Chains A and B, each alone.
Chain A
Amino acid sequence: MNSNYLIELDNVDRRFTSPEGKIIQVLNSFSMNVKPGEFCAVVGPTGCGKSTTLSLISGLAKANAGKVLIEGKEFDGIDPRVGYVFQTDAVFPWKNVLDNISAGPLFRGMNKKEAIEKSLDWIKRVGLQGFEYHYPHQLSGGMRKRVALAQTFINSPDILLMDEPFSALDVQTKILMQQELLQLWSKHKAAVVFVTHDIEEAVILADKVFVLSKRPARVKKIYNIDIERPRIVSEAKYTQKFIEISKSIWNDLSEEVNI
């Protein structure tokens, strides 16, 4: 094994069993590697198993065959180095902003005072001052996403898994949140695996874009995105380089999607 990698998926299989006992094979000897501090985006046709890779890395699901390694070692249960931002709202609706953000440290046994202090600091960093005691239903979609980001970042994960986190947002909010994410990430260099169906989003955010084939998923192609950082999301979209890479990825993908 190459110990340069932080995350290694080595020939993993993942099957689901339906309530009737039928087996659906989602991943079939799938391999993929991520280096420390690297921002990777994963794009692929619908239902190819993008999200399943995240479940495997987080430990929420176990591989049926093959190995999932973090820092070259296999792990049991959910690894504390992992943070996960979900596609749908996963903030706790019965907790206010402050309690939502301090949930992680408290679960991990930090004392209450320290957790609240840390949480207040993160509220500042994601620009939610004045909303500490608001409940999620009183916030806009973008603000709820900020809560989700702070909730994850407060645990200082080395590995940040994101499953189409911005797909439900409107276009302007989405761009703002992408910029916000890049800013947070630049200060805290976690390895990111960002699953998305949005090619532009993948190119604008990532160092590396993995293009997956349709099921059984394979890494079809890896693009290194050498657009320089720091990137301004709203501007980088109009550069020649961005457009070329996006087009090329789209060509790869459209071969996989036959309608």
Chain B
Amino acid sequence: MIEQKIKNRESEIKELEQISIKKVKDRWKMVIFYRLLFLAVTLGGWEILGRVGVIDPFFFSIPSKIIYQIYIWIIKGTSQGPLWVQVLVTLEETVLGFLIGAVMGIICGIALGRNKMLADIFSIYIKIANAIPRIVLGSIFIIALGLGMASKVALAVVMVFFVVFGNAFQGVREADTNLIANARVLGASDRQVTFKVVLPSALSWILASLHISFGFALVGAVVGEFLGSKQGIGLLIATAQGAFNAAGVFAAMIVLAVVALLADYLITRLENRLLKWRPTVQ
């Protein structure tokens, strides 16, 4: 009798589960629908307001012109050569600057974080360096290193270094003293403590900083190109600005956004791989 009841209950629960699964799916469909609706309304509104003259397309352009501009760049190339070359140049500067800045930041952050005396001496200067608008250094780099790639890489490095450095330093300082003591009693040398305990525990801090700092590296490279260069997306923007070509500026912005989103996706994949030991937070 009771067993029969329990069996009925079980099938009831299964049905309920089917319904709730469907509900979750329906909710997602709705979210995606409204997302697309929002996009259509915004872009459509911009297009219409531009065409009827409420927004002046000369200054603010309209979506169709921007898309056409990207199309032209892809098909016929830009005034500085093919679009993909511009993207590649900017990407190369960004990635180089990002890698150099990140590695230097991690090394210095850990070195300083492990040494109390050095940390006390330099922490004030790090704060000051972080407060300075470092992008202005771009002008110095152009003067010193010329119009080539070096000046852009240098600016990207400066943008990235301090962010990664600050996070690596903080991550090392917050490494659990219990874990370090445990490792030492288990037999770890100072070197092993640094690489097997301190570095992994600072890793989530470091990876968080990589997300932000890739964007910074991109800004550094583009602004560097903006200030003076022979190639790159930054120059594309500067040229469009000089020709009062608003569509060109927006088009370059979209190209940059695609690059940034791709990079962010790759960093997230790396992060998930390296931090698979972490409990998943929803």
**Interface residues, chain A, with chain B CB atoms under 8 Å away:** 58, 60, 78, 80, 82-84, 86, 88-96, 103-104, 107-108, 135-138, 151-152, 155
Contacts and interface: CB of A to CB of B under 8 A. Distances in A.
What size tier do the contact residues of chain B reach?
20 to 34
A60 B188 CA distance: 12
Contacts of A94: 200-201, 203, 275, 277
A152 B184 CA distance: 12
Contacts of A78: 184-185, 187
A93 B275 CA distance: 10
Contacts of A104: 186-187
B277 A90 contact: no
Contact of A84 (B185, B189, B192): B185
Contacts of B178: 86, 88-90
Nearest to B280: A137
Contact of B277 (A82, A86, A96, A107): A96
Contacts of B203: 94
A107 B183 contact: yes
Contacts of B183: 92, 103, 107
A135 to B, nearest CB: 5
B270 to A, nearest CB: 15
B20 interface: no
Given A80-B187, A107-B187, A93 B277 contact: yes
Interface in B267-282: 275, 277-279
Binding site secondary structure of chain B: helix
B182 A135 contact: no
Contacts, number: 63
A193 B196 CA distance: 28
B69 to A, nearest CB: 48
Contacts of B187: 78, 80, 104, 107-108, 155
Contacts of B181: 60, 84, 86, 90
Across the A-B interface, give the 4 residue pairs with the lowest CB-CB distance, nearest first. A90-B182, A104-B186, A107-B187, A108-B187
A92 B279 contact: no
B179 interface: yes
Contacts of A152: 186
Interface in B224-282: 275, 277-279
B252 to A, nearest CB: 41
A103 B277 contact: no
Given A78-B185, A89-B178, A94-B201, 17 more contacts: A78-B187, A80-B187, A86-B178, A86-B181, A86-B182, A88-B178, A90-B182, A91-B182, A92-B182, A92-B200, A93-B278, A103-B183, A107-B192, A107-B196, A108-B187, A136-B277, A155-B187
Given A92-B197, A92-B200, A95-B277, A107 B188 contact: yes
A103 B186 CA distance: 7
18 contacts: A60-B185, A78-B187, A82-B185, A83-B185, A88-B178, A89-B178, A90-B176, A90-B182, A91-B182, A92-B179, A93-B278, A94-B275, A103-B183, A107-B187, A108-B187, A137-B277, A151-B186, A152-B186
A90 B179 contact: yes
Contacts of A155: 186-187
Contacts of B196: 103, 107
B112 to A, nearest CB: 18
Nearest to A148: B182
Contacts of A92: 179, 182-183, 197, 200
Contacts of A136: 277
B184 A60 contact: yes
A103 B128 CA distance: 41
Given A60-B181, A83-B185, A103-B186, A137 B279 contact: yes
Interface string B166-205: 0000000000101101111111110010001100110100
